[in-house]
Amino acid sequence: MGDYYDIDDILAEEDFVPVQFHKAVNGVKIDESSERGFVEQDSKAELPFWLARGLHLQQAISIKVPACFNRNTRLEIEADAGSVDLRSRCSYFYEFGCKVAPYCDKSIGLLVSYAFKARYKEVLYKSHTKAFAAASKIMTFLTKEETNLYEAAQSSMAAFRKWRMGGPRLQRASILGRKRKPAE
């Protein structure tokens, strides 16, 4: 398949995570308002996940649970997952949750799985039944992954309707239309 960069993967790792430094670090300026060029041991900060993961692997920091997976979000999802605005918490809620869980709280994986299962059927149902005006309101609450699912479902339904309304039932494969070269 080859090496390539997935823009969604890159963007998912741009979200910030709270961290606590285990070691003092020289030559680093995390806060622009600070005059110091170092970070003290036990300092707390927020770093992009891609950077925090690297520092965590070097045992320089510990990653804390990001705000988008905090207790309030968990309670809201458990109460009514379909009405929670996950996009405002994290555009890549599911992908980011899968990436950050091994580094801070493994139960985030269960939360992400539960939220997806609870919202999946509703997203598909709405993609097939809602009018355009209602659809634009729905789209504001969906994460990037859910938006992709919603658009794929709408595209699939449009193709089905086109086929059902008398589109070509069977199509000849392009390879069948070619003539053989006469054998010499």
User: For all residues of the chain together, what is the average pLDDT?
Assistant: 83
Report the C-alpha gap between 97 and 63 in whole angstroms: 13
Q: How confident is the model at residue 121 (pLDDT cuts 50, 70, 90)?
A: confident
Residue 19 three-state SS: strand
pLDDT tens-digit profile of 150-178?
Answer: 888 888 888 888 877 875 556 666 666 66
Note the pLDDT of residue 134. 60
Residue 2 three-state SS: coil
CA-closest candidate to residue 21, choices 42, 36, 37: 42
Going from the C-alpha of 62 to that of each of 21, 39, 99, 103, 176, the distances in angstroms are: 7, 14, 15, 8, 61
Q: How confident is the model at residue 65 (pLDDT cuts 50, 70, 90)?
A: very high
Kind and range of the H or E run holding 140: none
The answer to whether residue 102 scores a pLDDT higher than 90 is yes
Q: What is the DSSP string of 54-110?
A: HHHHTTSEEEPPPGGGSHHHHHHHHHHGGG--HHHH-TTHHHHHHHHHHHH-THHHH
Note the pLDDT of residue 117. 92
Q: Is residue 7 a contact partner of residue 92, using CB atoms and an 8 Å limit?
A: no
Between CA 114 and CA 120, with CA 117 as vertex, the angle to 5 degrees is 140
Note the pLDDT of residue 31. 66
